[in-house]
Every structure is written in structure tokens, then in C-alpha cells.
Amino acid sequence: MTHNLKNNNASLTDNDIQTCTNHKIFNNKQAGASLADFIFWMIAAAFVLTAIVGLYNKSMSGARNGVVKTDVGVLIAGASGWGGNNKSGISMNELCKAGSNYLTKEICGTALDGVNANPYGGDYTLAVDNNTSRVKIGITDIDPDYVTVVANDLAALSFDNCRLASGCATITVAGQNVTLIR
């Protein structure tokens, strides 16, 4: 059977039409992703996710360190304002008493004693030093990976105004705890 095309004055046979139809069918195949492509992209996604989680953890730790340093500054200011040069009897409970306004609610914690109040989930402690004009400020249960960083950040706030915690007589690190004397 022959078909005449009005505009082209050309004729197509049934065989030509069938060949054209078959050609369209085979050219319209969708290209699929292979198993290798899928595995590659899953591994790439895992690497990206790992990098994001690592950056998140690092930024959160930096934020926690900043909060601890700020809180210790507030503890130092609160202790300085309490009791003059004789700090005998000073404690977290004393500075956190209702209406005292020496410390913030975040530093005092829900029980007004500094328990579970630091950003690592540990406690803030406050006690008089052997020299009664100074206080010992403790930060407990710091993430083991960041104890040295926290101690070094706080060294400048210690009584001796040290550059680093190592070798500083007024800041000590014991396990996951840091104590500074001010």
C-alpha cells in the first residue's frame, strides 16, 4: 500500500511506516541507573551526611565551650559581689537563693544548686578556697574530648590569669572535671 503526502509529493510504503514506527520505539527507551550507580550515590550521600554530622558536633561543642566560659564569668562576678573579701560560707545554694540575683537561672539550675546546669549536663560547683578571699569554681562531667579545650579557655579567668591550663597552679583538670580558683 502506498500513501501520498500532500505537501511533500513523496510516497511512503507500509514497510517505510513500520520501519519508522520501530525506530521511534527503540529511540524512546529510558536510560536506567545501574546498581553500580545506585551504590556510588549511596556512598557519596553517606560521606556527605558524615561530614554534616561532624560539623554539627564540632559547632555544638564550640557553643558549649562558649556558654561555659560565659557562665564562669558570671560565677566569678557573683562571687565577687558576695561577702566582701571573706568568702567563708559561699556556695551555689547561697548565690542561687531566691531574690539574690547573683547568678542566672540557667547557672543555678532547676533546684537552685548548680546541679545539671552546665551545657555538658554536669554541675557547676562553688566553694571557698584555702585562701578565704578566693573561691573554687568547678565544672563537672565535661565531654572527655573537650576537657582540655574548656580548661585552656578558662585558664585566663583563673586567679593566676594563665595562658594555658597546663602548668597553671589555679586551674586543675581531673578526669572530666575542671576546677579553677579565682
The whole-model pTM stands at 0.70
Pairing of strands 124-128, 177-181: unpaired
Reduced to 3 states (helix: H, G, I; strand: E, B; else coil), residue 143 is coil
Maximum mean pLDDT: which of 26-35, 82-91, 161-170 = 161-170
pLDDT of residue 13: 61
- Angle, helices 35-81 vs 147-155, to 10°: value is 40
- Per the prediction, the chain carries an average pLDDT of 86
Largest CA distance in the chain: 115
Residue 86 per-residue DSSP state: -
The cell 583538670 sits on which residue?
173
pLDDT grade for 54, boundaries at 50, 70 and 90: confident
Which residues are 127's β-sheet partners?
Answer: 136
> Residue 92 forms beta bridges with which residues?
none
Count helices and strands (H / E) in the chain.
Answer: 5, 6
Give the three cell numbers for residue 8: 511533500
* Of the listed ranges 10-14, 41-45, 63-67, 127-131, the one predicted with least confidence: 10-14
Q: Which residues partner with 125 through β-bridges?
A: 138
Which stretch of 61-65, 86-90, 165-169 has the lowest confidence by average pLDDT?
Answer: 61-65
Q: Note the pLDDT of residue 30.
A: 59
C-alpha cell at 99: 531574690
pLDDT of amino acid 26:
54
Geometric angle at alpha carbon 31, from 28 and 33, rounded to 5°: 165
H or E element, residue 125: strand 124-128
Mean of pLDDT values over 54-68: 82
| 100-122 pLDDT per residue, tens | 889 999 999 999 999 999 999 99
Cα–Cα distance, 116 to 90 (Å, whole number): 19
Residue 137 pLDDT class (50, 70, 90 cuts): very high
Predicted confidence at residue 170, as pLDDT, reads 96
118 or 36, higher pLDDT: 118
pLDDT single digits (tens) 18-33: 555 555 555 555 566 6
Please check the confidence at residue 12 and state whether its pLDDT lies above 60: no
Q: How far apart are CA 61 and CA 3, in angstroms?
A: 78
Please name every residue paired with 180 in a beta bridge, in sequence order, or none if there are none. Answer: 137, 171
Amino acid at 57: N
